[in-house]
Each structure stands twice: as C-alpha cells, then as structure tokens.
Amino acid sequence: MSLRFKIWITIGLLLGGVSQLMASTVVITGTIQKPSSQTVAIKYTSNKPNQDQAFVTANLDQQNTFYTQFDLHEFVEAYLYVGKDYVCKFYIEPGEEMSISVDQHDIQNTLNFSGSYAAKNNFWVRFHEVYPEYSEKVYYYRPFNFHTSKDVERAYRSSNNIESFSTKIKNDWDNQKRFLESFNAHTPISGSAYARILSNFEARWLNNRIIYYYLQQTLMRPNADMPESLVQFFQNFDKQSTEQLENKEYINAMLTYLGYVNFVNQKSGPKETSADYYQLITNNFIGISRNYLLTRLFLKDLANKRLKLWEDKRYEYEELNFTDEWKLMIDAAYFKLVEMYSGIQNVNFTLPDALNQQVNLTDYQGKVVYLSFWATWCKPCLDNFSRYKVKKDNLENQGVTFINISIDKDRNKALDFISRFNIEGVNLFADNDVSSITQQYMISSLPAYYVIDKYGNLTQYSGTIETVEQDLLTLMR
C-alpha cells in the first residue's frame, strides 16, 4: 500500500469519528383498519445530497394499532407502507408527535392525521383529492432525475405558444394559493408549515416554467432558449440556505434547470464526463444549488468507483462550499473507496473464454487493459457496450486490450447476448467462480470497470470508456 493511501485512510478513520448532528425524537402512532399485513414501515429520504434512506418498522397489535419512535435530524417527506403496500405520504419534523388512522380498503375517504402539527398533512390529503392531476408525474433522466406532472406535459403539447402555456401554469399556481388560503381559514396551519406549502407551490410554478424550455430544446422547436429574466428569477430563488432543500419541489426545479442547460450544452458535441458536468454546474448555478449539485456529482462519481474528479477538484470545491457536513460526506465516500482500492492486492485471475481456453490476466502483461464486469440483466452494461463502440475500436487500434467478464451463471445466456449485442473484445466467463471474482475485485454493483496498467497494476481509473479515454491514452505512452 502506498504512503499516500495510508495517509488518506488514516484521515478517513479520524473523520469517521465526527459526531452526527443533534437529532430530536419523533413519535408516530396509528391505527390501520383492514390491514393487508401486520407489519407497517415508514420510509423517508434525507434532503441532503447523499439522499440517505431510512426505514422504521413496527408491528400492529390486536387492535391494529402501532407505535414507532425514532430520532430525526431534519424536516422530511415520509411514506407509510403496510407490508409492501403503499398507503400515504406525509411530512414530519424533529420533535413531532403524530397519529395516522386509515382504512386500507378505502384510503382516499378515511385517511386522517391528528396531533399538534397534523393540519399540514390533512391539507395535502384534501389538496390531492381536489387536484388529483397534480399527483400524476412524468420523469426525465439526464443528468439527474427530475419530473413534472402529466397535466403540465399535456398542457405543453396542446399549447400553441409560451403565452397560452404560461397562462395555464400561472392559473394553476393561483388556484393552489387560493386553496391553501381557504383551507387555512377553517383549519389553521402553523406559520412555518404554511410558509413551506406556499414555497412548495412557488417552486412548482418555477419548475413548470423551466420545463417548457426543456421540452422545446429536446423537441428542437423554435424559441427554445430560456429568457434571461427566467434565468435570473431561478438564481434569485436560491436562498443560500440548506433549509431550502426541505422543499422537494425546489430540488426538482434545480434538476430540471440542470437538464435544460445540459441539453443546450450537448448541441456543440457530446459532453458527458464527470468533469463536463462539473463545469456545467459551476458555470450555471450559484449558492446552495451549485453546492448541492456538485456534492451529488462527487458522491455519484465515487459510488461509480472513480477517485479522479474529487482529487482534481477538492480544493476548488472547498472554496465554493459553505456546508461542512457535505464535504465530510464526500470525504467518507472517498476514503472508503481508497481503502477498497488498497484492499485489492491481487488483480490476477484465470477464467475460461467461449472455447473453454483458460485465459490469465498476466497473458496481457505489457498492455493497458480495460476490464469490464457485466451481466445479461444489467441494462446499463449492455447500453455502454453499444454506446461507446466507436471509441472502443479507436482505443483498441492504439493498443488497449478490452476484457469483458460475464458474471452470469448461465454461460449460454451470456453467449447469446454477446452475439445479439455484438460485444467485442476478450470475452471471459466467471461461471461458478462469480462469488470469488466479485469478492476479489470488491464488486457490489454493475457495471463495474477497472483499468490495469502495462505492469499489471490496478490503477485508480474507473468508469465508462468515455470517462477514462484520456487516462487510457496516457497509460499507453
């Protein structure tokens, strides 16, 4: 292990001792009539960039009631399940006590929340009864997932111009505000909860304005460029506070705008590496939006076993970032990955090819090897084989060796897919050694990519061919 790796691991272990933020206890009780299971679960996702998920479970007693108590650090959007069946969404914050009652066979008409802060949740129940069209969503996926409602997408497709579309979504916003005012008049909502709901509606309106130009771009229609006034409105919406991330609609608007600028950026040629996305974010976002997106980008890159972007941009990020907790998240993921790479002491293997000839990695000593672990059930693996074929052929012509290791236990199925998807390179099969090879390379998800240098050493480079293309060429020199 190199001295550098040892130092980073030591620092990582020290950082692992940093205490969590203070939490407050939450108590949730409830009654489930006609339950489909005797187990209930509460699931919620952190608003932080790591998007940690938590599950809290409890059993129903003989009266079909349940009791849960857990620590919570932040205001969150949570989901109640009975067994595997989704029941409802609700909002909860540190220190809150709340009770839920519902007949699982008639959720729409029986769902009710009680407790000191129940009004905000009963508001959303009533709101979705009156405006069910706002609940139906359509999703987009690049570079991060974002969505709009099916109602808004239908309005876009039926509108003739931005004016008619803008009128429709402005009317939606006005209707939402009036409904909130009316509900609050007879069922008072706490001031902070009222402000959150209003902010949610405003961010939804912002997102719907941005989605118009995103769709114009993707469909290559005229007048597709977002006006500067809307760009300024979006940037002024950034309150420079992590509390703003409690508003999931704002996060969604942020990701929609990223989808828009990404599509505009691609017009001058493909730019899909992590470094490209880093530049895109720093060029188009400010404040908490920029820092949130950069943190998610680093965490995603590290989850894909890539160290380089964080190592290259760490100090630049530290100058931009004003949330120490987020930097610790990235460091924790980085040190864990460094430790993983240092733990892969032996990269050599011997595996059969399609003709049952044994192939050893040392057979390619003196060559740079791009190692791809894949399976027939891994759609991203298959997509990447076809997507980067031209780059792969060019690199192969310059001396890079491509070894593809199938971890399917059914070799015939793998062979069928190799033929069907024209998977080229040195194709090897783990067969019954799947557990051994995945443990050796510490593989926990697919696709998994590694680069071996001319001397048979594992490098820190990992990712799709496009991501490591320049690194491969450097190693060839």
**Cα–Cα dist 454/146, whole Å:** 42
Tokens representing 445 are 């998800």
Give the model's pLDDT for residue 142: 84
CB proximity list for 291: less than 8 A, separation 6 or greater: 320, 321, 322, 323, 326
Quote the CA–CA distance of 183 and 204 in Å, as a whole number.
19
With tokens 């972007």, the residue in question is 309
Are the C-beta atoms of residues 3 and 9 closer than 8 Å to each other?
A: no
pLDDT at 9: 41
Q: Which domains does the chain have, with CATH numbers?
A: 24-116 (2.60.40), 137-336 (no CATH), 350-476 (3.40.30.10)
Distances (CA, A) of 403 to 378, 424, 432, 443: 17, 9, 18, 16
Low-confidence ranges of the chain (pLDDT < 50): 1-22
The contacts of residue 264 (CB under 8 Å, 6+ apart) are: 217, 225
Which two three-digit tokens encode residue 59?
Answer: 């059993």
8 A C-beta contact, residue 40 and residue 32: yes
**H or E element, residue 152:** helix 150-158
**Lookup result for tokens 């950026």:** 265
pLDDT tens by residue, 88-144: 999 999 999 999 999 999 999 999 999 877 999 999 999 999 988 888 889 998 889
Per-residue pLDDT, 197: 95
Geometric angle at alpha carbon 4, from 340 and 361, rounded to 5°: 50
pLDDT single digits (tens) 36-47: 999 999 999 888
**In this prediction, what percent of the chain has a pLDDT beyond 70?**
95
Q: Residue 272: its pLDDT value, please? A: 83
Q: Tell me the residue type at 367.
A: K
Q: Output the pLDDT for position 152.
A: 94
Q: What CA–CA distance (Å, rounded) separates 420 from 433?
A: 24
Q: What is the DSSP letter of 458?
A: B
Q: How far is residue 334's CA from residue 313's CA, in Å, rounded to a whole number?
A: 13
* Confidence at residue 127, expressed as pLDDT on a 0 to 100 scale: 94
Residue 5 amino acid letter = F
Q: How far apart are CA 287 and CA 91, in angstroms?
A: 26
Tokens of 18: 């940093």
Distance CA 409, CA 407 (A): 6
- pLDDT given at position 23: 59
Residue 187: the pLDDT is: 94
Encode 252-321 in three state secondary structure: HHHHHHHHHHHHHHHCCCCCCCHHHHHHHHHHHCCHHHHHHHHHHHHHHHHHCCCCHHHHHHHHHHHHHC
Distance CA 231, CA 243 (A): 22
Residue that is written with structure tokens 């009317």 in the block: 171
Predicted confidence at residue 11, as pLDDT, reads 42
